[in-house]
Chain A
Amino acid sequence: QQQVKQSPQSLIVQKGGISIINCAYENTAFDYFPWYQQFPGKGPALLIAIRPDVSEKKEGRFTISFNKSAKQFSLHIMDSQPGDSATYFCAARNFGNEKLTFGTGTRLTIIP
């Protein structure tokens, strides 16, 4: 119940294309869903986040879509650029114990 399932494990997208990463959860105690971007040898950086009372949030080229009934959320990166090549982790915060549970990560590669 504490798991967050993330797919795909790796993704290759052409420059200018749309990158889509999906996550699913079971625990209804999750109340906050952030996405983190991590470059090799660096710490994860908070990219964008959403709460379950909102179905979509957009910040620049990054959009989170949230489907509460399906317990799924996804990250869309529009006009993907080589600089977006990184590992992306979805996560979910548990209202009860304030812990973040991370997905397994998606390694995104943007090719020219």
Chain B
Amino acid sequence: DTEVTQTPKHLVMGMTNKKSLKCEQHMGHRAMYWYKQKAKKPPELMFVYSYEKLSINESVPSRFSPECPNSSLLNLHLHALQPEDSALYLCASSQNSYEQYFGPGTRLTVT
């Protein structure tokens, strides 16, 4: 089973709202990732957690705040976003940083 689940599927939020994206994997993978993908572009890495610790932050603005409550869960807290932050947000997990398995994504629209 290589399933990564993400909720919600779609999210519309205003620029003053606070919301969270959730990701879950039950494959026992040690690393979890957040990516951002704009239309017709490749995924862009945002954050990497390894063994529940933040190991990579790709200079992401502080209005995005990741959290890894346990080895199966990854959250992305959103606050004061801009319309240009509208994108598909993808979560991925990996046991060894080679095979990364992506979830279906959350389509975020910031109004």
Contacts and interface: CB of A to CB of B under 8 A. Distances in A.
Interface of A: 32, 34, 36, 41-46, 49, 87, 89, 93, 97-100, 102-105, 107
Given A34-B99, A49-B99, A97-B56, A43 B42 contact: no
B102 A44 contact: yes
Contact of B40 (A43, A93, A105): A105
Contact of B97 (A36, A93, A102, A105): A93
A44 B107 contact: no
- How many residues of B sit at the interface, in one of the four size bands? 20 to 34
B104 A43 contact: yes
A41 B90 CA distance: 11
A43 B102 contact: yes
Interface string B85-107: 00000101000011111111101
